[in-house]
Amino acid sequence: MIALPPKKLIDNPVRYVFQTVEAEAEAELAFDYLSYSSAVDSKGRYFHFDELKHRLPKKMDVTLVWSLIKEARVKQKLPLYFSLPSFCLTPTIQKSISEVDRNTTTAALEWMCNKIGERKHLEYLLNDLVEDEAISSSQLEGAATTTKVAKDMLKRSRKPRNPDEKMILGNFRMMKFAWEHKNKDLSVELIEELHLVGVEGIDDEKYKPGIIRLSDDVVVENNDGEVVHTPPKADQLNTRLNELVKWVNDSHHDAESSKYIHPLIKAITLHFRIGYEHPFHDGNGRVARALFYWYMFKNEFAAFRYIAISLLLKEAPVQYGKSYLYTETDDMDLTYFIDYQCRIIIRAINKFKTSYKESVEQMETFNKWLWDSGLYRKLTDKQQTVFQVAKSERAVSFTINNVKDNLGCSYNTAATTLNGLVEPRVV
């Protein structure tokens, strides 16, 4: 468990430092205390009491330091215009917003695809990334299937053979649903349908697909079986969900308005609130993350189709869980959760950019080789695309159906494309 913040803080801690510490002829110590009168530390980190207490020199009063930090944070809080309290705009959050705006909009993605003049080649390669969030989100929830086996199942449209594979297929369908319904307003019914799409057929008795819980027998446990979160009572759950829906659908996009909230912040808040409420008997984390994506898609951040947040969350699931706990145990300060998600998002965007850069370099190298080998004039554009993907090892097997889907062509054209590669023994 985590160390909880002191229940009673020191009123006006800055004045207390000057009146008490400095009066004791410890001016240097007083300045040390005052250095903590900031929302973040010198490196921009937003520490919870659990992290802070182990970093302080023994000579310092931890309650006084915490009081100084809390006072500074209160002065910097930004409202969310919702029942949840406000948050602080940390350096990490600001950087993440900048990265999202510059690299993940629909316009930015269009530019990336058109820049190199090989749109179909790039789209085929990027489609490989679409599966990553569905797979990693399932693995984060405990699915034991390997990424290689999971990708093979999705590419071949093979039926899942066990509950773990069913979970991955459900998540894939959930992400597809989020993309296809991005132009709809949020509703409780849409949340229920998203859950139904994601978990139906895995274990219906356990998940109760698409049904909001009516009981309070749902808790969140850690790996040791300790209860770390008890969701709010179910009797007012529908009321709270409708309040959340209204807030999500309300426009906060006017940059000149005092009520402006960046879509990334709203998407992360939606993610948090669904996880906090735990509206379903199981599968809540998957729904929360899928709704994050849905809101980003809705606000034209299309590149998030290829950016797998869960791929990084699953590397440190304890930290992911703590970001929830830190918020819950410190006056529902959402900064902890938002800041952590933003750190993950920055890394995920960088991973996406690296993947894009590598794909472009592979295409340029392949095109040169294709020309030098004399195959350029022998293959159609579609055959060149499939051959390039095969050579890059992004995909190791090809069927008529997956070629049809990736190239956006008819079944017969896809068959002709593959046969045209087999006959001259290219593949």
- 255: pLDDT strictly greater than 80: no
- Tell me what pLDDT residue 395 has: 65
Burial class (CB in 10 A: 0-12, 13-18, 19+), 412: exposed
pLDDT tens digits for 327-377? Answer: 999 999 999 999 999 999 999 999 999 988 888 888 888 888 888 887 777
Question: 186 versus 400: which is more confidently predicted?
Answer: 186
d(CA 189, CA 284): 15
Contact in structure between 2 and 322 (CB atoms under 8 Å): yes
Nearest of 120, 130, 115 to residue 383 by alpha carbon? 120
Domain-by-domain residue ranges, the chain? 13-78, 128-346
Give the pLDDT confidence score for residue 237 in this predicted structure.
Answer: 98
Give the right CATH number for 128-346 from 3.40.50.720, 3.40.50.1860, 2.20.28.10, 1.10.3290.10: 1.10.3290.10
Q: Which residue in the block uniquely carries the two structure tokens 């900031």?
A: 38
Q: pTM for the complete prediction?
A: 0.92
> CA-to-CA distance for 380 and 72, rounded, in angstroms?
64
Q: Which residue in the block uniquely carries the two structure tokens 């803080």?
A: 9
Cβ distance 209 to 196 under 8 Å? yes
Q: Is residue 199 over pLDDT 90?
A: yes
**pLDDT score for 418:** 85
CA gap 407, 386 in Å, rounded: 9
Least confident stretch, 16-20, 232-236, 306-310, 399-403: 399-403
**What's the pLDDT tens digit per position in 283-307?**
999 999 999 999 999 999 999 999 9
Secondary structure of the chain as H, E, C letters = CCCCCCCCCCCCHHHHHHHHHHHHCCHHHHHHHHCCCCCCCCCCCCCCHHHHCCCCCCCCCHHHHHHHHHHHHHHHEECCCCCCCCEECCHHHHHHHHHHHHHCCHHHHHHHHHHCCCHHHHHHHHHHHHHHHHHHHHHHCCCCCCHHHHHHHHHHCCCCCCHHHHHHHHHHHHHHHHHHCCCCCCCHHHHHHHHHHHHCCCCHHHHCCCCCCCCCCCCEECCCCCEEECCCCHHHHHHHHHHHHHHHHCCCCCCCCCCCCCHHHHHHHHHHHHHHHCCCCCCHHHHHHHHHHHHHHHCCCHHHHHCCHHHHHCCCHHHHHHHHHHHHCCCCCCHHHHHHHHHHHHHHHHHHHHHHHHHHHHHHHHHHHHHHHCCCCCCCHHHHHHHHHHHHCCCCCCCHHHHHHHHCCCHHHHHHHHHHHHCCCCC
pLDDT at 396 over 70: no
- pLDDT value at residue 115: 65
